[in-house]
Structure 1
Amino acid sequence: MVRRYSFRYRSQHPEMYPEVCGICKPQRRFSAPSHKAQHDEMKYRPIQQQRFYDHSMHLTHSGVFYPSSSSSVTTITASDLNTFVMKEIEPDTEYNKSCKEVVDQLCQFMQHDFPNELRPSEIIKGGSLGKGTAVKWKSDVDLVVFLVRFDSILELHQAIKDILDGMISSLNSKKDLTVERTNAHAVKVSLSCHAGHTHKVDILPRVNVLGTSVNLLRTETKRKIYTTMGAQSPSLREYYSAALAPLQISFVSDVPTKVKTLIRLVKYWRKTCFEESTRRKRLPSSYLLELITIGEWEDAGGSVNFDLMKGFLHVLLAIADYKRLKHAWNTNYDPKQYTRSYSCYVMDPANPFNNVMEPCDCWDLVESKARQFLHMSEFNGLSISSGWI
């Protein structure tokens, strides 16, 4: 016989027990915030615990490595966090200047040395460098190349193989650059930086579907673009995401500086706790982590004076409880029209057909790592039921 206050009874009556522990498996539910707070303090009071793993290279059954790092976020304390972020994560002026120079040189090369049929009308700098969320030594760049010759996505799609082959032929003549590979949409290159490291750069040939400055775009213009996308096949829709990069850049770039710092910390956690290339697995993208962080910060009230460690705690809690994620924005479209088929989602604010959660195929692994990390000594003295301030 099921007792009245059993886990099963509580899960079947969420309206009576609205408070949920984001860490327990199965989830525990509580009728009042004070009851959940008491549970959190008793069960998850931070304790000194053995570090994550030995930081020698460790291969899991899924093929994911935990790389050795002398500057791991798993070894810092709450009191040292701001210093750690400033020294290890935040790009300094010299780093930014150096990276900007080599990326600008590549853009100039494409503008002046590409053959006429591949000549750009404009190059948009995306990725973490373009959005202002770059992590020192671990930054990535997306260069969206709007081509003069092409006027439609369909025309670009039909010629994409020849376009990519032509780009590779030209790029192979540039010094300090190595063409790594291509996929169906981009040429991937490694670019040597004056700061002593290598950038991974995706060069994506596209059509300028927006046609004007993001700040001048009318709602009706964007509505027409999304209507056109809705009538396209899924394979053609994929070409629009990069073409809408100016909207993505504008969305992320506009958040306060401290939110960008938190984004860098979350991305650093991902980049140092997982090998970037898992071969058989796809981790959450940097863009997804940016959006989760922004969404959680907004849901917490959007204060610009939040505590960085508390913010980190709550973003990790959201990642650990990923099945409850529901983030969408009405900046460019009405999300209600596009989220009905998803049980959980983080929608691209620039592309209503892109649930950014979907490409990740190892959420169970990511959830496990986040839950483990929540027990690290970094969170000593923090209450899980506390807010961000």
Structure 2
Amino acid sequence: MGNGESQLSSVPAQKLGWFIQEYLKPYEECQTLIDEMVNTICDVLQEPEQFPLVQGVAIGGSYGRKTVLRGNSDGTLVLFFSDLKQFQDQKRSQRDILDKTGDKLKFCLFTKWLKNNFEIQKSLDGFTIQVFTKNQRISFEVLAAFNALSLNDNPSPWIYRELKRSLDKTNASPGEFAVCFTELQQKFFDNRPGKLKDLILLIKHWHQQCQKKIKDLPSLSPYALELLTVYAWEQGCRKDNFDIAEGVRTVLELIKCQEKLCIYWMVNYNFEDETIRNILLHQLQSARPVILDPVDPTNNVSGDKICWQWLKKEAQTWLTSPNLDNELPAPSWNVLPAPLFTTPGHLLDKFIKEFLQPNKCFLEQIDSAVNIIRTFLKENCFRQSTAKIQIVRGGSTAKGTALKTGSDADLVVFHNSLKSYTSQKNERHKIVKEIHEQLKAFWREKEEELEVSFEPPKWKAPRVLSFSLKSKVLNESVSFDVLPAFNALAEFWLHTQPRGLCRAH
């Protein structure tokens, strides 16, 4: 029932997608059977005659978030009991009611068709349900909770104020009542693309392999890694289809920056309410790493720092392995480990240097890309005509204000056929078309070395040619805007010089 014996470091970057399908995703027929059994269990638990105190059932854990690994995985079944009327009621022992629920559930399920595919086991806090097929086993922890959301899909600021009041009143640990928001956790993951879920499976499998090396270390919550992966995708990609290897490198780079990690979402709460604002400011100013539960602002799920420090070493090992580091330099997404406003003032210079300023290698890559296009424009593009051109580099890269997270370059082509602003307006689309056609021909000749992607024009008579260029020497694609223009300054200079000086020239 294992989820793949192959070591990840031995899997080539281009085969990671295949590895996920072959070893990590549950077999479809097993998943279908498990789903049917879980639906049956939930239906039984919500029969009023048998379980009159159960108001509803929420499904959480990896199963609820649809991030189940093949073999053994986890889930939670949260039972909303009618006698739990506020958060602090959960501090009372639920052992008796859960024991009775477990005994009655076992009896009910034995009369169903799934009697040979489940086990109910008593635990210190209640009971667990093991649901299994030949190749898949899910262990569900059964928990009792106050139904904080009731019939509302979206939590109000009031419910988070009540949460904070209950935590203070009962001296409960931050995040202790997060189970009440299990439905929101499921909703947060519901509409994520399938490939992002595949990336999550890969990261979780890697973490499991790391855990096997040193068993005594405190483990990191799978939920924390899932949220970290979602954050990497949201900030750096947001596409349904993407290169799995790029996503892996991005997540590993963020793990290496664990002492700077500060991740949170504003999907269920925000800074508008004073109580919630104070909770968030306290969390964002606390020691890193910080990964806030998107459904509970009091719940920093990042866990023990020791496991992060150890995981940082493992991340570096995989990042530098020959199979993952198979391109030089290996591409990843541009993702900051924390938003700018959470950075203390005295650390802003360091933040700019580490995360905003392009390094020497990056600037050399930009120069290399610009030189490729400049050479093409000068030597290839207009060689069949008598046109004379002058090329001026513009944009943020020319002004020295380029960001590490954005590589763009403007090239202004002063073409001698454009003799006025009017001719620029009326004739430049012809030059754009000529450059486009010549660049496509140039690309076909250099197809093994270059990759060019053209953007569709915004106007019927295009003013600019926009495209991205990628080559073997570039870490990422560089976006270009090539703009034909009338050289107004040259005309101005020519007509304002004294005649004798003009003759001298």
> How many correspondences in the alignment?
317
Q: How does 1:272-283 map to 2 (within 5 A)?
A: 272-275=209-212, 278=215, 280-283=216-219
Corresponding residue SS for 1:138: strand
Conserved 8 A contact 2:63-2:74: yes
Q: Does the CA contact (< 8 Å) of 1:124 and 1:145 recur in 2?
A: yes
Counterpart check, 1:163 vs 2:136: no
Q: Match of 1:125?
A: 59
2:259 is equivalent to residue 323 of structure 1: yes
Query: Which amino acid in the other structure matches residue 288 of structure 1?
Result: A
**In the alignment, is the contact (CA less than 8 A) between 2:26 and 2:69 conserved in 1?**
yes
Q: 1:221 to 1:81 in 2, by over 3 A?
A: same
Q: Distance in 2 between matches of 1:277 and 1:210?
A: 40
* Aligned match of 1:58: none
Gapped runs of 5+ residues in structure 1? 1-66
Q: Indicate yes or no: 2:326 matched with 1:378.
A: no
| Equivalent pair of 1:209/1:225 in contact (CA under 8 Å) | no
Identity across the alignment (%): 23
Mapping for residues 99-110 of structure 1, pairs under 5 Å? 99-110=34-45
The residue type paired with residue 342 of structure 1 is: A
The corresponding residue for 2:293 is 348
1:317 maps to amino acid: E
Aligned residue identity for 1:96: Q
From 167, 189, 194, the equivalent of 2:133 is 194
Please list, as runs of the form range in 1=range in 2, the aligned pairs for 1:254-333 lying within 5 A after superposition.
254-275=191-212, 278=215, 280-333=216-269
Instruction: Specify the alignment match of 2:338 in structure 1.
Output: none
Matches within 5 A, 1:217-232: 217=154, 219-229=156-166, 231-232=168-169
User: 1:242 Cα deviation (Å)?
Assistant: 0.6
* Superposed CA offset, 1:202-236 (max 9, x none): 1111110111242xx25444444444345443427
Aligned to 1:145: 79
Query: What amino acid does structure 2 have at the position aligned with 1:161?
Result: R
Which of 1 and 2 has higher RCO (CA within 8 Å, sep 6+)? 1
Distance in 2 (CA, whole Å) between partners of 1:343 and 1:270 is 20
Distance 2:140 2:12 in 1: 34
Distance in 2, Cα, partners of 1:326 & 1:252: 20
- Cα distance between partner residues in 2 of 1:288 and 1:95: 27
Structure 1 residues 238, 82: CA separation in 2 closer, same or farther (over 3 Å shift)?
Answer: closer
Partners of 1:370 and 1:378 in 2: CA distance:
14
Shift, 1:271, TM fit = 2.2
State the shift of 1:180 in Å: 4.2
Aligned-partner residue type, residue 136 of structure 1: R
SS in 2 for 1:353: strand
Hey, what's the Cα distance between the residues in 1 that align with 2:191 and 2:213? 27
| CA 284–324 in structure 1, closer or farther in 2 if over 3 Å, else same | same
Q: How many angstroms apart in 2 are the aligned matches of 1:124 and 1:276?
A: 34
Secondary structure, aligned partner of 1:273: helix
8 Å Cα contact 1:181/1:189 also seen in 2: no
Change (3 A) 1:255 1:182: same
Q: CA RMSD in A?
A: 3.0
TM-score by length of 2: 0.56
Measured after TM superposition, the shift of residue 87 of structure 1 is 1.8
**Conserved? CA contact 2:149–2:155, under 8 Å:** no
